[in-house]
Amino acid sequence: MSYFKELWDGIRTTAQGLRLTGGYLTKKGVYTIQYPEETLPIDKVTHRGIHEYDVDRCISCENCAKACPVDCIYIESAPDEKGKPSKGKAAIMTRFDIDYSKCLFCGLCVPPCPSECIQLGERYSLPGHTRDDMVVHFHEGGYPIQEKTEHAKSMIAEFRTENLYEKKRKERADRGIPTLRPAE
Amino acid sequence: MREGLTNLLSGLPQWLQDIALPVLFGLIPAVIIVLGVVTPVGLVGIWGERRIAGKIQDRVGPDRVGISLGPIKSRLFGLGQSVADGVKLLGKEDFIPPGGLGLMFLCAPLVVFAGALALFAALPFGPALWAADPNLGIFYLLSVGALEVLGVLMAGWSSNNKWSLLGAMREVAQVISYEIPMAIAALCPVLLAGSMKMSSIVADQTNGLDLWGLHIAAPEATALGWNLFAAFPFNIIAFVVFYICALAALKRAPFDLPECESELVAGFLTEYSGMRWSLFFLGEYAAMWAMSGIATVLWLGGWTGPLHGFLAGVDVGPIPGGVFFGTLAFVVKTTILFLLMIQIRWTLPRLRLDQVMSLCYKYLIPAAMLCMLASGAAALLASGGAGS
Give a yes or no: residue A11 inside a domain: yes
In the prediction, which pLDDT does B244 show? 92
Answer yes or no: do A73 and A148 share one domain: yes
Answer yes or no: do A73 and A137 share one domain: yes
Answer yes or no: do A65 and A140 share one domain: yes
* Separation of alpha carbons A54 and B97, rounded Å: 59
DSSP chain A: -HHHHHHHHHHHHHHHHHHHHHHHHHSSS-SS--TTT------TTT---SEEE-TTT-----HHHHH-TT--EEEEE-B-TTSSBP-GGG--EEEEEEETTT-----TTSTT-TT--EEE-S------SSSGGGEEEGGG--SPPP--SHHHHHHHHHHHHTTHHHHHHHHHHHTT----SPP-
Answer yes or no: do A82 and A117 share one domain: yes
Please determine, for residue B362, whether its predicted confidence score (pLDDT) is greater than 80.
Answer: yes
Helix (H) / strand (E) element for B380: namely helix B365-382
Residue B162 confidence class, pLDDT cut points 50, 70, 90: confident
Give a yes or no: residue A107 inside a domain: yes
Answer yes or no: do A10 and A67 share one domain: no
pLDDT > 90: percent of chain B: 9
Answer yes or no: do A65 and A123 share one domain: yes
Answer yes or no: do A3 and A56 share one domain: no
Give a yes or no: residue A45 inside a domain: no
Average pLDDT taken over every residue of chain B: 83
Answer yes or no: do A26 and A111 share one domain: no
pLDDT > 90: percent of chain A: 10
Q: Does A17 touch chain B (CB under 8 A)?
A: yes
Please determine, for residue B219, whether its predicted confidence score (pLDDT) is greater than 80.
Answer: no
Give a yes or no: residue A93 inside a domain: yes
Question: What interface predicted TM-score (ipTM) does this complex get?
Answer: 0.75
Chain A partners of B344 at a C-beta cutoff of 8 Å?
18
In the prediction, which pLDDT does A148 show? 66
Please determine, for residue A179, whether its predicted confidence score (pLDDT) is greater than 70.
Answer: no
In the prediction, which pLDDT does A144 show? 60
Q: Do A30 and B348 touch (CB under 8 A)?
A: no
Backbone angles phi, psi at B213, to 5 degrees: 90, -20
Best of B52, B240, B343 to disrupt the A interface (most A CBs within 10 Å) is: B343
Q: Which residue has the higher pLDDT, A68 or B16?
A: A68
Chain B partners of A17 at a C-beta cutoff of 8 Å?
347-348
Q: What is the mean pLDDT of residues A120-138?
A: 86
CATH number for A99: 3.30.70
Please determine, for residue B166, whether its predicted confidence score (pLDDT) is greater than 70.
Answer: yes
Please determine, for residue A34, whether its predicted confidence score (pLDDT) is greater than 80.
Answer: yes
Average pLDDT taken over every residue of chain A: 82
In the prediction, which pLDDT does B282 show? 83
Give a yes or no: residue A184 inside a domain: no
Residue ranges per structural domain of chain B: 1-90, 92-382
Considering only the beta carbons, identify the residue of B58, B59, B343 that sits closest to A18.
B343
In the prediction, which pLDDT does A141 show? 67
Whole-prediction pTM value? 0.77
Please determine, for residue B126, whether its predicted confidence score (pLDDT) is greater than 70.
Answer: yes
In the prediction, which pLDDT does B369 show? 92
Residue A147 confidence class, pLDDT cut points 50, 70, 90: low
Residue B388 confidence class, pLDDT cut points 50, 70, 90: very low
In the prediction, which pLDDT does B125 show? 81
Lowest mean pLDDT among B207-216, B254-263, B320-329: B207-216
For B32-79, write each residue's pLDDT tens digit.
766 777 778 778 888 888 888 888 888 888 888 877 777 877 777 888
Q: Domain total for chain A?
A: 2
> Which residue range is the domain that position A133 belongs to?
51-174
Answer yes or no: do A118 and A159 share one domain: yes
Q: Does B58 touch chain A (CB under 8 A)?
A: yes
For B73-106, write each residue's pLDDT tens digit.
777 788 888 888 888 888 888 888 887 777 888 8
